[in-house]
Structure 1
Amino acid sequence: MPFARLASATTPTSRLGLGLAAVGRPGYINLGRDRDLPPERTVDALRTRTHELLDAAYAQGVRYVDAARSYGRSEEFLADWLARRPDAADVVVGSKWGYTYTADWSADAERHEVKDHSLAAYERQSAESEALLGDRLDLYQIHSVTPDSPALTDRELHARLAEAAGRGHTVGFSTSGPDQAAAIRAALAVRVDDEPLFRTVQSTYNALETSAAPALAEAHEAGLTVIVKEGMANGRLAGPEAPEELRAVAGETGQGCDAVALALALRQPWAGVVLSGAATALQLASNLHAAVVDLTDDQLTRLAGLAEDPRAYWERRGRLPWH
């Protein structure tokens, strides 16, 4: 698996990756975007910001980058950066298919993305991803699988994904929603020629949403690499929006709420890679301090009290505005 390259990295931040959801398009649901992004969110402005983040991440030891077809022009921005950074041959690149970006570079679009897990969507989007990223694409994931996703039962799709794996791609899936655990367990049962199809799983896990943890532990035990996304709950665990108990623990550690939130994910024994969704180099530097945060048993117990009912968590996430 390409992710074995991460395990052999020697830098403290090798288990932290950079996700490009927040900078590949002008509109997203993260809190604080008015503070984080340039007033004019042109294609060139966000291309420049993405390249600045990638430069900073690489310099600080980050070796996994996460994009998606629905993250606006994230794959394009990443491909441009890889072309001008031949020294970054050790970067592992992941992307996702299953959502189509429909906002036409507007932060105020009525719909920003459309979900489609059909074979036709895979064929179209995989061709688009490969046209941009070529042989630099290591991991290709189904985007936001839920228990009712046709991607879990479409045997023709499974055969095509297995063909991609035979050509050298790692095949994975991501999950979203209050039933992540059920989606993970259903995906673990998918086999082609009596072999497991999926080699990675990327799921939401943070101090507020912990419900997928048992299923992620099962995935890890089954040999999958686990990637944690939304470790800061789309900004709810950072800065002034952070819960009081998290702010208290952060004060005790001498680090920011963001670093503590990501450290909580990093310390899970099943977590292989934890994503930073930073939109500025300063945020990224603060996020990467998670690698040195050492949480005590008392602090972990206090943070465990922040967990919300998953349906309430996802209902609130669904109300976050695109801005």
Structure 2
Amino acid sequence: MPFARLATATTPTCHIGLGLAAVGRPGYINLGREHDLGEDRSVEALRTRSHALLDAAYAQGVRYVDVARSYGRSEEFLADWLNAHPEIDDIVVGSKWGYTYTAGWSTDAERHEVKDHGLATFERQRAESAGLLGDRLDLYQIHSITPDSPALGDKKLHAALAEAAAQGLTIGFSTSGPAQADAIRAALEVTVEGRPLFRTVQSTYNALETSAAPALAEAHDAGLTVIVKEAMANGRLAEPYAPDALRAVAAETSLGCDAVALALVLREPWAGVVLSGAATTVQLASNLHAAVVDLDDDQLARLAGLVEEPRAYWERRGQLPWH
């Protein structure tokens, strides 16, 4: 598995990855984008921003980068950067298929992405990803399965995914919604010729939404690499939006709310990679301080009080505007 490369890395930040969801397209649901990105969200402006983030992340020890077909031009931006740095051979690249970007580089489109987990979509998007990333693509994930996803029972799709795995691609899945734990457990049961199909799982887990933790621990124990997304709760755990308890703990550590929020996730024994969704190099530098945050029992107890009921959390997330 490509993640074996991370197991041998020695930098403090090797278990923090960089996700390009926030900078691969002009519109997203993260809070604070009007400040982070400003008015110029042209293709070239976001390409330049993405490359600056990749430069900074690599220089500071980050070795996993996460993109997706639905993240606008994120795959293209990453491919351009990789092609400009042929000497870099220790980056692990993950992408996702199953959503199609439909916003046409607009922030006010009626629909920003369309979900389809069918075999035809996999074949089309696999070719698109391969055309951009070629053999630099290590991990291909089904994007945001839920317990009722047809991808969980589609034997023809499973066979196609297994064939891709036989050709050297690592196959994984990501989850979303209040029933993430059910989706994870269902995916762990998917086999092809008696062998588990999936080798990684990427799920939302943060100080507000912890419901997937037991299932993620089970996935880890089954040998899957766990990738954590939305550790910042789409900006709700960053200043100036962070809740008071998080602000207080951050003040005690003399670091940012973002570093504490990410550190809370990094301390989980099953968390293989925790994604930073930074939109600026300043944010990235602050995020990476998470690797040195040490939280005591009292601080952990206070942060535990932030947990929300899963359906309430996902309902609020669903109300965040694309902007």
TM-score range, shorter chain: over 0.9
Instruction: Tell me which residue corresponds to 1:284.
Output: 284
Q: Deviations over 1:88-126 (max 9, x none)?
A: 211000000000000000001010000000000000000
Residues 79-88 or 219-228, more deviating: 79-88
**What TM-score results when the alignment is normalised by the length of structure 1?**
1.00
**1:269 corresponds to 2:294:** no
Displacement of 1:38: 3.4
**Distance in 2 between the 1:152 and 1:261 partners?**
32
**Aligned: 1:77 with 2:77:** yes
Code of the aligned partner of 1:227: I
After the TM superposition, list the runs of 4 or more consecutive aligned residues in structure 1 that deviate by more than 6 angstroms.
Answer: none
For 1:31 and 1:38, the matched residues in 2 are separated by 13
1:215 matched residue in structure 2:
215
Task: List per-residue Cα deviations over 1:169-194 (Å, max 9, x = no partner).
Answer: 10000000000000000000000000
Instruction: State the partner residue of 1:124.
Output: 124
Hey, what does 1:11 align to over in structure 2? 11
> Is the CA contact 1:75–1:129 (under 8 Å) kept in the aligned structure 2?
yes
1:141-180 Cα distance to aligned partner (Å, 9 max, x none): 0000000000000000000000000000100000000000
Q: Is the 8 A contact 1:208 1:308 kept in 2?
A: yes
Shift of 1:307: 0.3
Q: Distance in 1 between matches of 2:215 and 2:116?
A: 25
User: C-alpha displacement at 1:4, in angstroms?
Assistant: 0.4
Partner of 1:243: 243
Shift in Å, 1:39: 1.2
Whole-Å separation in 2 of the counterparts to 1:215 and 1:144 = 16
Match of 1:193 in 2: 193
| 1:253-268 aligned within 5 A | 253-268=253-268
Please identify, of 85-94 and 203-212, the stretch whose mean Cα deviation from structure 2 is larger: 85-94
Gaps of 5+ in 1: none
RMSD over aligned CA atoms reads 0.4
Superposed displacement of residue 87, structure 1:
2.4
Q: Which residue of 1 aligns with 2:144?
A: 144
Q: Where do residues 175-194 of structure 1 align in structure 2 (5 Å cutoff)?
A: 175-194=175-194
After superposition, the C-alpha distances for 1:222-241 in whole angstroms (9 at most, x for unaligned) are 00000000000000000010
Structure 2 CA distance for aligned equivalents of residues 123 and 240 of structure 1: 42
Question: Does residue 111 of the first structure (1) align with residue 111 of the second (2)?
Answer: yes
Deviations, residues 277-308 of structure 1 (Å, cap 9, x unaligned): 00000000000000000010111111011000
Write the letter of the residue equivalent to 2:163.
E
> Matches of 1:253 and 1:191 in 2, distance apart?
45
In the alignment, structure 1 residue 54 sits paired with structure 2 residue 41:
no
| Contact 1:38 1:45 survives alignment (8 Å) | no
User: In percent, how many aligned pairs have the same letter?
Assistant: 80
Give 1:161's aligned residue.
Answer: 161
